[in-house]
Each structure stands twice: as structure tokens, then as C-alpha cells.
Amino acid sequence: MIMSGFRQADAGTSSTYYLPKIGSNFETVRLTYGAFLRLCLHSTVYYGAQGFVSEKLFGRKGTMGVAEREAMRYILSMGAEVGVSVLIMPVRYLAASTTPRFMLDYMFTRWSDVLALLDRFNPSTYASYALYAFASSNDEWNFDFFTWQIPSVLMTLGKLIARRRFAGSARCRTKRVFGVLLAQLILRAYMSTFSVMIPEQGSEALVAMSVTILEGMATSYLAQHTWPFPWDDITHIASMNTTSSSTAMASEGPDTPP
């Protein structure tokens, strides 16, 4: 069932006649805007709620600050991936990475309509865009579902190498990162097939939702564990320096004339 999703979708089906014509450049700009907006919204809501609940309800002091740093780290990490991928392989990357947004519109229309006021998502034009991205090959197996990930995979490997250099190999779970990266590669490829093949049965919709959730978990893990800069150490050093400066100023007595 999973591998059948990688088979080439037929661009000549009758449903394509009902899809609107699009300007690929305009749609690329709109989907890029939506990708960055949803990244910021998702990170702010998820990490903000996590930090608020942890600090206000469970009394864990300082977790709001930690959540803020985690959100910023995720936004910078994923924002770099989106930016580089859009520069190198814009159409296929945007068509594939917007699949979860398309699934949201398919399964939860009211929520999608509210979000569309902000991210300007249009399911009809997106469907045309996805067919333009992935239904142009005549091969039986469409490997475009894999090739769009090349920029993000290279970026992940580059961040991992930089993390090993700056943070030390002891703080890098290299084998686990490679395992999650392989899982992400397969999950993203399968997830992107739903951009051109909408689930028609409840079981297919459940599989699509499960794959989308697992892909998001893998992506979040890689974003956190390949970030090259040890912010925790920098924050700790900065707080120690601030404390030392305050102590030194307090220890100095007031200037008095001789």
C-alpha cells in the first residue's frame, strides 16, 4: 500500500479539467509566504503553549524562557531549510511540503478556512500546482517524490557536521540522527504523494494523517538535534557573567572623598 503511492499519478484524469489554470510564479510566491507564516505560527503556538503550561500550571520556573529559545531555534532551522529549498527546487519542494496544509483543508474545512485568512491558501490552485510539479513524468515510478528532498537532506547533514564541530561529538547523537533522517526521507516521499492522490477512503485518510504526524515528529527531532550552535552554553555563560558583574558592582563601596 505504501509503495503504491510512489507510482505515477495520471495527469489526464477527468478531475484535472475542473482545476483552475495558474501562474506558477505567482503561486510559488504565495506558497512560500504561506510556508514561512505557518512555520512562525506553529512554532509560536506549540512552544508558547508548552512553556506556559509547564511554568504556570506545573510551577517549573524558567520553562517559558526555554520554550522561547526552542521556538526560535526551530524557526531558524526550518526557515533556513525552506529558504534554501525554494531557491534550488522551488516548485516540487513547495508542492510537497504544503501537503499537510492540503490535508488539513480536506479533513477540517472550517479550521482551514480560518487559517486561509492568514496564509492565503487555495486548495484548487494548490492542486493544479501539485499536478504541475509531480505529474509531468511519464515514468511508472515517480522519483520526484524523493528528489525534492535533496536540498533539505544536504542542509541537515551540513548542520550535523557543524554541530559536531561546535558542540562536540559527545553531544551529537549521530547514529540516531541518521536513522531519523532515513525515516524522514521515506515519510516525506510518501506524504507528498497525497498532494496528487487525495485519500478516498477512511482508512487511507487515517494513514495519511498518521504519516503526516510522524513526518512532523521526525522533522522536529532533526531540527532540534542538528542545530549547530550550543545556545544553552551561551545562555549559561551570559547569565554567569551578568551575575559576576552584579556581584562585583555590589562589592564596591560608594566613592567617598578622602
Cα 242 to Cα 248: distance, rounded to the nearest angstrom: 10
Give yes or no for a contact between 164 and 174, defined as CB atoms under 8 angstroms apart: yes
Cα 43 to Cα 23: distance, rounded to the nearest angstrom: 30
Burial class (CB in 10 A: 0-12, 13-18, 19+), 80: middle
pLDDT beyond 60 at 241? no
pLDDT of residue 237: 36
pLDDT of residue 97: 96
Considering the chain, what is the average pLDDT of its residues? 82
Cα 186 to Cα 167: distance, rounded to the nearest angstrom: 29
Average pLDDT over residues 99-126: 93
Share of the chain above pLDDT 90, in %: 53
Split at pLDDT 50, 70, 90, the class of 135 is confident
pLDDT beyond 60 at 35? yes
pLDDT of residue 248: 41
C-alpha dihedral over 94, 100, 106, 109, to 10 degrees? -100
Average pLDDT over residues 1-20: 51
Split at pLDDT 50, 70, 90, the class of 139 is low
pTM of the model: 0.80
pLDDT of residue 82: 95
pLDDT beyond 80 at 252? no
Average pLDDT over residues 172-201: 92
Q: Report how far apart, in Å, the C-alpha atoms of 74 and of each of 10, 56, 158, 191, 236 are.
A: 37, 23, 16, 21, 20
pLDDT beyond 70 at 4? no
pLDDT beyond 70 at 251? no
pLDDT of residue 136: 64
pLDDT beyond 80 at 3? no
pLDDT tens digits, residue range 189-217? Answer: 999 999 988 888 888 889 999 999 999 99
